[in-house]
Amino acid sequence: MGNEWLVLGMIAGFLSLMVIGIPVAIALAVSGFIAGYLGFGSMLFQLMPARLFGVVTNYTLLAIPLFVFMGVMLEKSRVAEDMLETIGKAMGGVNGGMGLAIILVGVLMGASTGIVGATVVTVGLLTLPALLRRGYAPSIACGTICASGTLGQIIPPSLVLILLSDIVGESVGTLFAAAFIPGLVLALIYMAYLLILGWLRPQWVPAIPLEERAKISGKQLTLDLLRNVCPPLLLVIAVLGSIVGGIAAPTEAASMGALGALLIALAVGRLNRQLIRETLHGTLTISAMVFFILLCAQPFSLAFRGLGGEQMVHALFEMLPGGEFGALLFLMALLFVLGFFLEWIEISYIALPMFLPVFMNYGTDMVWLSILVAMNLQMSFLTPPFGWALFFLKGVAPKGVTTRDIYVGALPFVLLQLLAVVVLFQFPSLVTWLPEAIGW
């Protein structure tokens, strides 16, 4: 019984450190080390080196800084800006058309960058003032930009999927293939919402005025599409196609994606020493943050497992009605609530490993479960009070756009993401069909 109290105390200590403002990584390490040392003494320090060495030598995780480099390069070289402007002109004649363009750019940037902050900041700076000038309701404009930025968390290549593959023991290529259709389904749900809004409330999402559209010739628009949209699109197809098709390992494809981003920046004439310096700095910052949290999560997870936390979780799930179905509903509800307060990395490496053995015992399809979790974690970027996409947009929003506008605008898209989770829950074949079709 003593160890059970240590587990509960460790979790309570972690949450308490978070509440008083201690960084998440430090809170994880401190609570894990104290509980682990009280539970099994100096043996903790004998076990830790192997766990830490396993993280830093994990070949799959090498794909993270490479994919981050690819995304930061495309963002810093303003390729994403050109793509957004071109698609916006092409879609602007429809009520809600600028919103549709933002969602499409979110799909492309998600597949090429996978970095929520970069997408939200870039799209926010470029489009929010223009949307407001054209009469878009502030809340709708803000919600669309935030939701578009979060698509990079489910559309591969995604850092969430790479880390989940390490946690659940499935290959990165399998999860990438499994997430492809759900990511497109979510984007289509967003676009359907904006089209319906344009039909029912055209004054909230007006089209670009005809006189403005008349200044752009069809030939020029076609050339802009070929020049600004096709290169990053082909890069995404090459990277994802090589992984899903089994031609290259994720790390190999990520390295080719990084090289492709360099070549695109060179082709548009923006590759210089300053761009490389900024890209390397951004890549180092993001990658260091991810790996630091992963390393600090190891003492916490080791202490949790060593002190019998898994048995406590098993006992908890046995008390739930409904068997596997009830356990899945409980997990989805818990992850949703945690998303209000924690980041997806902490949730992935704290909550998910606690419950994973339960679903293994049930024989749950780990690929399907991983995509459900990834879709759920994506909502954590939009849910107040600590949704990071909301903070990113607030940081670049023009005067007159309030925090309330951003929060209110995000709520419909949270509900749409919940709808997407329900759809995947009811139709698992949306997740499993593509991996099975290509033989993963």
| Burial tier of 390 (Cβ tally within 10 Å: 0-12, 13-18, 19+) | buried
142/125 Cα distance (integer angstroms):
11
Give ∠ CA 177-179-180 in degrees, rounded to 5.
70
Cis peptide before 385 (omega within 30 of 0): yes
CB 124 within 8 A of CB 81: no
| pLDDT in the model for residue 342 | 67
Decide which of 272 and 92 is more confident: 272
User: Which of 49, 133, 60, 46 is closest to 98 using CA atoms?
Assistant: 133
| Residue-wise pLDDT tens digits, 74-128 | 778 877 777 777 777 777 677 878 888 888 877 877 766 556 666 677 677 777 8
What are the counts of helices (DSSP H) followed by strands (DSSP E) for the chain?
Answer: 22, 0
| pLDDT in the model for residue 423 | 93
Instruction: Read off the pLDDT band of 419 (50, 70, 90).
Output: very high
| Residue-wise pLDDT tens digits, 387-396 | 767 777 877 7
Length of the chain: 440
| Residue-wise pLDDT tens digits, 311-343 | 676 676 667 677 778 888 888 888 887 777 666
CB 308 within 8 A of CB 353: no
pTM: 0.76
Q: Average pLDDT for residues 272-294, to the nearest whole number?
A: 84
Q: What token pair was written down for 15?
A: 């949450």
Q: For 2-6, 151-155, 180-184, which range has the lowest pLDDT when averaged over its residues?
A: 2-6
- Identity of residue 239: V
Distances (CA, A) of 309 to 17, 359, 364: 20, 15, 21
Whether the pLDDT of residue 213 is over 70: the answer is no
The Cβ of residue 164 has, within 10 Å, a number of other Cβ atoms equal to 26
Whether the pLDDT of residue 222 is over 60: the answer is yes
| pLDDT in the model for residue 424 | 92
| pLDDT in the model for residue 404 | 84
| Residue-wise pLDDT tens digits, 113-171 | 556 666 677 677 777 887 787 788 888 988 988 888 888 788 877 778 888 888 888 88
Cis peptide before 157 (omega within 30 of 0): yes
| pLDDT in the model for residue 1 | 45
User: Which of 433, 393, 383 is closest to 413 using CA atoms?
Assistant: 383
271: left (phi over 0), alpha (psi -120 to 50) or beta: beta
| pLDDT in the model for residue 211 | 65
pLDDT, averaged across the chain? 80
Non-local CB neighbours of 413 within 8 Å, separated by 6+ positions: 143, 144, 146, 147, 190, 193, 382
Q: Average pLDDT for residues 206-235, to the nearest whole number?
A: 74
